[in-house]
Structure 1
Amino acid sequence: MREKRFAGLTAAGLPPAREDMAAVELMAVRKVYTTGAGEFAALKGVDLTVEQGEFAAVVGKSGSGKSTLINMITGIDRPTGGEVWVAGTPVHTLTENQIAVWRGRTLGVVFQFFQLLPTLTALENVMLPMDFCHVYDKAERPRRALELLEMVGVGQQAGKLPASLSGGQQQRVAIARSLANDPPLLVADEPTGNLDSRTAAAVIELFNELTRAGKTIVMVTHDQDLARQSSRIVTVAEGGIVPDGRTGVRDL
């Protein structure tokens, strides 16, 4: 049942989430990498707020810092300085074990290359996050996975392996999988990069439907036309946020 689905996670000692914060809050975030050529500042004191229910498209040239920005939000990388708060949790303070638990219950991640396990059916791929995090009763998981597949329009493909699905169908399965644990935030990294324009537009419309249903989405994209279909554009340049990135369309 919903109220029991995170009952074994408290052992990780996650701090209680603050309810007075936005979905994503980055405060003076810096990230410096040490290379053979010296230090490189990928992020230079970034401040960013994404409110609950926003669909934010992150755009910028290669090397601008947008991938590092996303890695801060997902906890894949740690800031050199500053604070990263996601869904009211101070991600910058968590241990590696805590981050793994936090990510499983807080984030859904959608990749450019789908990342579906080839030997599992679409239904089994969607069930996998529930199995790993022990989310929902075991008997409830297949029904929930099928409901998610139907919600994204591929319910009839539930019993098929990824290789027998089109690219668009595989991405829809991947989106269903990202929703498996009912996370408040979805992070999509170039989710339309391997799709034709018509299928990409359908995926963006699906994202808009999800935000209307209350999800928050942060999407990295190189496609300016698709970015304009989000509710907000965040432009990253030279390790910082372009000041008028909130209005976005003028920056493209």
Structure 2
Amino acid sequence: MLGKWLSGLMRVDLPQPRPAAAAVELLAVFKTYVTGAGEFAALKGIDLQVGAGEFVAVVGKSGSGKSTLINMITGIDRPTGGEVWVAGTPVHTLTENQIAVWRGRTVGVVFQFFQLLPTLTVLENVMLPMDFCNMYDRLERPERALKLLDLVGVSEQAFKLPANLSGGQQQRVAIARSLANDPPLLVADEPTGNLDSKTATVVIDLFKELAAQGKTILMVTHDNDLAARSGRIVTVYDGQIMTAAAEGGSNA
């Protein structure tokens, strides 16, 4: 049954991406939730552009709207109004099946709690997105997964289960998995929240290196010191972008 469902996803057609000046572009994005207490506006006309190869930190207090903003960009949630473009694709127009395929090929997501499957080896965890999206030849996938694990410095852990790795090592594996299908965009939601300061610094250094190689990085964080090491800080307050500051620069 699962095989048939995955096979159906593989046959989903995606719209042809348009040439895009920005890797991520949000145009007048609103998001309103209807609750028992009435309507709640989580996003209030967000405009945002992120260039290819930028490393952007998204900061803000709990409830400010930063997680909702990220959910718009990854296609996890849909805007009430406005447009969301990622790598030239109008994400706001995609069907649920199209979003599943598009996300698997276009966006790598890194979670705070790693989200590695405990019964699969490290290598198998990294191969999983390739299997899901039918990317790369089946015989090529293990070699590619090993190269990605080597990139993040944990190739020697390839045949272990995640439980046998430290938190920092598991997060590196999660980053390798997010790169499995060579997505242009990497989104990290509090990726250092469960790591010590030394390991968190290593993760940020890796993000900076990936951005230098052309990956676009969006990182949600509560840590202002780590955010300051990104290329640009976007501050979300009460559903609006208040600051879009360059590293070491003044507010935009």
Whether contact under 8 Å (1:60, 1:237) holds in the other structure is: yes
Structure 1 unaligned blocks of 5 or more: 1-7
CA distance in 2, matches of 1:240, 1:16: 31
3-state DSSP of counterpart to 2:40? strand
Report if the CA contact (8 A) 1:235-1:248 is conserved: no
Amino acid at match of 2:245: R
Letter of the 2:226 partner, please give it.
Answer: L
What CA distance in whole angstroms lies between the structure 1 residues aligned with 2:113 and 2:9?
30
Q: Paired residue for 1:114?
A: 114
State the match for 1:246 in structure 2. 245
Partner of 1:3: none
AA in 2 matched with 1:126:
V
Q: Aligned partners of 2:172, 2:113: CA distance in 1, in Å?
A: 12
Q: Give the TM-score of the pair, scaled to structure 1.
A: 0.94
- After TM superposition, give the deviation of residue 10 of structure 1 in Å: 7.7
- Report if the CA contact (8 A) 1:17-1:89 is conserved: yes
1:191-225 superposed Cα distances (whole Å, 9 cap, x missing partner): 00000000000000000000011100000000000
Percentage of matched positions with identical amino acids: 77
- Name the amino acid aligned to 1:247: A
Shift of 1:119: 0.7
Question: Is the deviation greater in 170-179 or in 18-27?
Answer: 18-27
- 1:86 counterpart residue number: 86
Unpaired runs of 5+ in structure 2?
A: 1-7
1:146-170 CA distance string (max 9 Å, x none): 0000010001000111000000000
Structure 2 residue identity aligned to 1:147:
K
Distance in 2 separating the partners of 1:218 and 1:9: 26
2:230–2:247: 8 Å Cα contact kept in structure 1? no
- The total of aligned residue pairs comes to 243
Are the aligned partners of 2:110 and 2:175 in contact in 1 as well (CA < 8 Å)?
A: yes
Letter of the 2:149 partner, please give it: L
Secondary structure of the 2:195 match is coil
Deviation at 1:13, TM superposition (A): 2.1
TM-fit CA distance, 1:19: 1.7
Letter in 2 for 1:198: K
1:62 aligned partner, one-letter code: S
Q: CA RMSD in A?
A: 1.4
